Amino acid sequence: MPSNEHPDDLHSRLKAVTELPFLQHQMGKKLDLTLIALGHKKATKLILSKNDPDLERKKTALIDIGFECDWSRNEAVNPENVELCVADSVDTLVRIQGASNEDEQDWGEFAGYPQTAIEAYMSGDESRVLPREELPAEVLQQDWCELLHFGLSREHWREEIQTLQKWHESLQEYAPEFLRAYVTNSRERGVWYKQELERQKREAEQAS
């Protein structure tokens, strides 16, 4: 929890984040914003349509919750979109506004990833990154493993999963309802994804 924030104020802030109507179906972005509010991440970006008539209203809603927000100084990958930078402080906001998608060290830091995991990914050596499916079953079965959205390093993965455990502990204390919803949604999507891959495989086999 941010050291200067009263628990009641933090609970209200987190509730406001999870109830943002324009993020209703974006559980990943709700997670990012929640972890920023809890002090575990520094920043994220929201990709919005240039044609959205409510762009400024959405920016204002995030500012009202207590985030630092402004538009990226870089062009979005899709020219039809704009990028809204959301940060924990003015200093971080200035950095994220100027960060390009190629600034992998900065983005890993903004996202709160362990430095050893960032370095393994940036090395370009796939053998240094541990695929999720190679994690022990007892790890994959944990609720906190559903928060894993970065590549673990093969050498330091045991230390790196402590980041996930810390995130989970904070979410359990300050946003338990959102955490339950997130874990359920993540597992359901995982089951759907596996079923879809199996369906595609069967169709390919039948076609051959």
Distance CA 177, CA 6 (A): 20
Percent of the chain scored above 70 by pLDDT?
A: 93
| 39 and 131 together in one domain | no
Helices (H), 99-148: 104-110, 115-122, 137-140
Cβ neighbours for 70, distance < 8 A, ≥ 6 positions apart: 59, 84, 85, 93, 97
Range of the domain at 202: 113-208
pLDDT at 107: 94
| 42 and 81 together in one domain | yes
Q: Is the pLDDT of residue 59 over 90?
A: yes
**What is the average pLDDT score of the chain?**
91
pLDDT at 2: 61
| 136 and 102 together in one domain | no
Which of 132, 169, 172 lies closest to 153, judged by CA?
Answer: 132
CA angle 19, 31, 122 (to 5 degrees): 155
| 100 and 141 together in one domain | no
Q: Is the pLDDT of residue 73 over 60?
A: yes
Overall domain count for the chain: 2
| 89 and 147 together in one domain | no
pLDDT at 101: 78
For 102, other C-beta atoms within 10 Å of its C-beta total: 7
Helix/strand number for the chain, H first, E second: 9, 5
| Average pLDDT estimate for 7-14 | 85
pLDDT at 75: 84
pLDDT at 4: 57
For the chain, how are helix, strand and coil distributed in percent, rounded to 5? 60, 10, 30
| 16 and 89 together in one domain | yes
Distance CA 72, CA 70 (A): 7
Cβ neighbours for 86, distance < 8 A, ≥ 6 positions apart: 33, 36, 43, 44, 45, 46, 62, 67, 68, 69
| 124 and 37 together in one domain | no
| 119 and 170 together in one domain | yes
Q: Is the pLDDT of residue 207 over 90?
A: no
Tokens 């502990």 -> residue = 169
pLDDT at 127: 95
Percent of the chain scored above 90 by pLDDT?
A: 76
pLDDT at 125: 94
Last residue of one domain, picked from the residues 72, 106, 140 = 106
Last residue of one domain, picked from the residues 67, 87, 106 = 106
Last residue of one domain, picked from the residues 62, 90, 106 = 106
Q: pLDDT per residue over 98-155, tens digit each? A: 988 788 999 999 999 999 999 999 999 999 999 999 999 999 999 999 999 999 999 9
pLDDT at 113: 97
Helices (H), 82-175: 90-98, 104-110, 115-122, 137-140, 157-174
